[in-house]
Amino acid sequence: MPSPSTNPRPRMPAEWEPHAATWLAWPHFRGDWPGKFDPIPWVYAEIIRNLTRHERVELIVQDATAEAKVRKILDKAGALNPNLRFHKWKTDRVWTRDSGCIFVSACDPSWCSASIPAREGGAARLQALHFRFNAWAKYPNYADDANLGAKMARFAKAEEVNPVKAKYKVVLEGGSVDVNGQGTLLTTEECLLSFIQERNPDFTRKDYERIFAEYFGIQKVIWLGSGIAGDDTHGHVDDITRFVAPNKILTMIEPNASDPNHAPLADNLRRLRAATDQDGKKFKIIELPMPRPVVFEGRRLPASYANFYIANGVVLAPVFNDPNDRIALNTLAELFPTREIVPIYSGDFIWGFGAMHCMTQQQPDI
């Protein structure tokens, strides 16, 4: 077996590649769902019930008292399972996609490539990219969430990596990027480059592309424009456009020309049609219509079918009691014929400004 290099080559596996586990944090901060918190634990129970049939779930709870309460809820929902493991760690919120670490594989460049899963070539080591988390530059209470990535890395026995530029620890959330596992990454200009995002002052497009190359093993970055209305992350890509295969991209569209999402999603579609992958090849683009606007207390919420989560043997899909739910579920069934497509009602859940993908973080099986 080759000896490890001092400069291992990273690769972020695609979400559909085998997982060792999914990380979740149990909801406890009622302020994220003001007036709608009561149904949220039961949404989580349904998600855990479906995930644990296919892979291990690493569930983060506040303390022993919280664990006892959670166990009672999961027991009632038929969701207690040997595939469930508890971690008593403090968190501020539940969005582990953004606050947790991002797992990648690292292998010796003499015997692996960015497009070949490390497990197929020999031993690789798990790395945990622990970016700086600043709660999307929106909320003051994030001290516990900022430490979550390090705790996940230690438990997973992963090598913790703190991406930096000129001694500055980089701010980046997992929901702002999506990869095809072959060297291409999707992100948005609104999230990383616009003046409103307040993540990495003075960062340029080239700065981000260097970070993606060095820490994710990315050869090609596809820059989309803007995200959807109501997204308080300033344009996370996992609400609008997702890789569903190395050469296929699913993207949201808004047919209603008077809707504020119509123009930005049409612009993203144009960019995708012109884009090529790491080898210069065009993608197959699958269009999916948005659900009707979801509004609560006068505020437009970021309801989107793109915020699905791909796990071992299953895809968790947000639905909103909307006619387009059926189109979304049928589309995902065609794209993932070997996986069960599980609809999760998210009409209440989206009041927290996130859905299935935002709340999950996969740990690849390398």
Measure Cα distances from 325 to 100, 248, 321 in Å. Answer: 30, 21, 7
* Rounded CA separation 298/246 (Å): 39
Beta pairing, strands 314-319 & 309-311: antiparallel
Amino acid letter, 165:
K
Beta-carbon contacts of residue 174 (< 8 Å; ≥ 6 apart): 97, 98, 100, 102, 361
What residues are annotated to the active site?
A: 358
pTM: 0.93
Q: Kindly tell me if the per-residue pLDDT of 147 is higher than 50.
A: yes
pLDDT band at 112 (very low <50, low <70, confident <90, very high): low
Q: Kindly tell me if the per-residue pLDDT of 363 is higher than 50.
A: yes
DSSP tag of 354: -
DSSP secondary structure letters along 262-315? HHHHHHHHHHHHH-B-TTSPBPEEEEEEPPPP-EETTEE----TT--EEETTEE
Model confidence over 36-81: pLDDT tens digits? 999 999 999 999 999 999 999 999 999 999 999 999 999 999 999 9
Helices (H) and strands (E) in the chain, counts: 11, 21
Model confidence over 6-29: pLDDT tens digits? 567 899 999 999 999 999 999 999
Of 6-15, 218-227, 229-238, 341-350, the least confident: 6-15
Q: Kindly tell me if the per-residue pLDDT of 255 is higher than 70.
A: yes
Model confidence over 256-292: pLDDT tens digits? 999 999 999 999 999 999 999 999 999 999 999 999 9
Task: Determine the CATH number of domain 9-364.
Answer: 3.75.10.10
> Mean pLDDT, to the nearest integer, of 173-183?
97
Q: Kindly tell me if the per-residue pLDDT of 115 is higher than 60.
A: no
Q: Kindly tell me if the per-residue pLDDT of 111 is higher than 60.
A: no
* Rounded CA separation 124/5 (Å): 10
Of 133-137, 235-239, 281-285, the least confident: 133-137
Question: What pLDDT was estimated at residue 164?
Answer: 86
Buried b (16+ CB within 10 A) or exposed e, 184-223: bbbbbbbbbbeeebebbeebeeebbbebbbebbbbbbbbb
Contact predicate 59/96, CB 8 Å? no
* Rounded CA separation 330/153 (Å): 36
Q: Kindly tell me if the per-residue pLDDT of 197 is higher than 90.
A: no
> Mean pLDDT, to the nearest integer, of 222-227?
97
Of 87-101, 107-121, 288-302, 342-356, the least confident: 107-121
